[in-house]
Amino acid sequence: MTVQAELRAIEILMVEDSPIDVLMAREALQQAKVLNNLSVTENGVEALAFLRRENQYAGAPRPDLILLDLNMPRKDGREVLQELKADPDLKYIPVVVLTTSKAEEDIVKSYGLHANCYITKPVDFERFVAVVQTIQDFWFTVVTLPPREAHE
């Protein structure tokens, strides 16, 4: 029998331009008692600056999980996912796509770019929370990555 590692809040970056969707995600995580620190950026340009710790995001935490909308202003989630997974320092961060797009092309491309899950809006919050918990459990107990400092 193994003892579970010390419980810590997971750092989540939500890339979402809808304040209502952000509120619903916060509520779902809170109701499910998922210990987290949720940071939010409203478009793809801000998300990549956050992930690369550029400009006002110089002290941003490295997310353990990214919740990514595909349809956003300035730079959409499709481009963000492609850049994220091409970046050697960021490609290991799990990504859950949360979007209104049910287009087969978006689903196939997202999984082809190694998104961990694709959930369409309106979100089934039980499924959403189950996905976040599964990724959290799997990522922190099964996947072994270099220490967080090595990526920072």
pLDDT of 152 above 50: no
pTM: 0.85
Buried b / exposed e across 104-128, counting CB within 10 Å, b at 16+? eebbebbeebebbbbeebebebeeb
Q: How confident is the model at residue 6 (pLDDT cuts 50, 70, 90)?
A: low
Dist. CA 107–CA 122, nearest whole Å: 16
**Minimum mean pLDDT range among 63-72, 81-90, 92-101, 118-127:** 118-127
Mean pLDDT, the chain, rounded, equals: 86
Instruction: Pull the structure tokens for residue 22.
Output: 């952000």
Q: Which pLDDT value is given to residue 1?
A: 38
Of 147, 130, 140, which Cα lies nearest the Cα of 10?
A: 140
Q: How confident is the model at residue 20 (pLDDT cuts 50, 70, 90)?
A: very high
Question: CA geometry: angle at 35 spanning 92 and 136, to 5°?
Answer: 30
Instruction: Pull the structure tokens for residue 63.
Output: 């997310």
CATH of 10-139, one of 3.40.50.2300, 3.40.50.720, 1.20.120.1080, 3.40.50.1580: 3.40.50.2300
Q: Which pLDDT value is given to residue 144?
A: 52
Domain positions in the chain: 10-139
